Amino acid sequence: DTGVSQNPRHKITKRGQNVTFRCDPISEHNRLYWYRQTLGQGPEFLTYFQNEAQLEKSRLLSDRFSAERPKGSFSTLEIQRTEQGDSAMYLCASSLSEGGTNEKLFFGSGTQLSVL
Amino acid sequence: GQSLEQPSEVTAVEGAIVQINCTYQTSGFYGLSWYQQHDGGAPTFLSYNGLDGLEETGRFSSFLSRSDSYGYLLLQELQMKDSASYFCAINQAGTALIFGKGTTLSVSS
């Protein structure tokens, strides 16, 4: 168990640029989640996958955000035409869902995005 | 929609006991989870309550009352390393975990 890995740890970009983050979940986990967190707030749900299927996307999520999990393993989150309001910590989490209600999420250390 | 309320800050001294309350509103409720996050770190799972009552894990306990839409996290024998943010989160039917805004716990000597 190597844990959830996210790259890069930090990303500084100029407004209007596109950015892409990568998440490698715990290998046997079938679910993968993306959350966003700003200072003093809790993680805000963005989207999640079960295997390669994207099952839910937050209604608050702009069309500039897209996520993929092409082979049910790693995932990428892309933000197009970044805005200063996109500055946040982007957290990835994975879990092994076996149909029960006690779902335990394992989080990565996150990617800190700063949009200048 | 869903909502969770928890205090924004709690302070305590080493060795003390502290309780962090969480009230929630949602439909399709399965249970309440608690996560801990140290500054600069990732959230880590602490406990889950699917049924009413108290769940104990070492110095930490968590309680749920479904009828009151209320839960709490109880931390005993506080240590400096317990200084962190604590989040309650709703486990719901067919959707992802929804987190509260968090409670910052400061433990002093």
Chain A partners within 8 Å of B43 (Cβ): 43, 91, 93, 105, 107
pLDDT at residue A1 in the model: 54
Other beta carbons within 10 angstroms of residue B27's beta carbon come to: 8
Question: Phi, psi at residue B81, to the nearest 5°?
Answer: -70, -10
- What gap in Å lies between CA A23 and CA A12, rounded to an integer? 18
- What gap in Å lies between CA B51 and CA A99, rounded to an integer? 17
pLDDT at residue B92 in the model: 85
pLDDT band at A38 (very low <50, low <70, confident <90, very high): very high
Mean pLDDT over B75-81 rounds to 97
Least confident of A10-14, A16-20, A43-47, A101-105: A101-105
Instruction: Find which of B97, B101, B103 to mutate to test the A interface (most A CBs within 10 Å of its CB).
Output: B97
Calculate how close chain A gets to B30, using CA atoms only, in Å: 6
pLDDT band at A59 (very low <50, low <70, confident <90, very high): confident
Chain B partners within 8 Å of A42 (Cβ): 87, 89, 99-102
